[in-house]
Structure 1
Amino acid sequence: MAGIANYVSESYNELKNHVTWPTWAEAQRLTIVVVVFSIIFALLIWGVDTVFSGVIEQYFEWIKS
């Protein structure tokens, strides 16, 4: 149990004294960058999925014939 308490204490000390936190403006800017790239990536995956679905559908129609 002492090991867990020591871990929590050292983690708190690390976060308080050794981590450089971003400014509020920088955090907002980086959040916007992440949101924009997430949307772009989601649209790209949706497009690839749509194309592959069409290709697979055509393949099975071709096999049926």
Structure 2
Amino acid sequence: MNVKNFVIESIDEMKNKVTWPKYSTLQNSAVLVLVASLIFALVIGFIDLTFENIMTWFYDLF
């Protein structure tokens, strides 16, 4: 199989065999990913801040 044949078949597969999502579905998925990422970042930030305060309190005891 040569490179030209591979490229032609790849283009044909991308055009005719791949099911592409609608634009509205992509928007909904992007919003979902952004919201989930923000929630995850806030949770991790809260855990980090709590752990930092606990460690500071613990080290100040000694």
Using the size of structure 1 for normalisation, the TM-score is 0.73
**Alignment partner of 1:48 is 2:50:** no
**Alignment partner of 1:36 is 2:61:** no
Q: Which moved more, 1:20-29 or 1:10-19?
A: 10-19
Deviation (angstroms), 1:54: 0.6
Number of equivalenced pairs: 59
Q: How does 1:1-65 map to 2 (within 5 A)?
A: 2=2, 5=3, 9=7, 10-62=9-61, 65=62
Percent of residue pairs bearing the same amino acid type: 34
Q: Kindly tell me: are residues 24 and 59 of structure 1, through their superposed partners in 2, closer, same or farther at Cα, counting changes over 3 Å? A: same
Structure 1 stretches lacking a partner, 5+ long: none
Using the size of structure 2 for normalisation, the TM-score is 0.76
Q: Kindly tell me: are residues 59 and 24 of structure 1, through their superposed partners in 2, closer, same or farther at Cα, counting changes over 3 Å? A: same
How big is each residue's C-alpha offset from its partner over 1:10-54, in whole Å with a ceiling of 9 and x where there is no partner?
544433332211101110011111111010000000000000001
* Ranges of 4+ aligned residues in structure 1 off by more than 2 Å: 10-18
Q: Distance in 1 between matches of 2:54 and 2:13?
A: 53
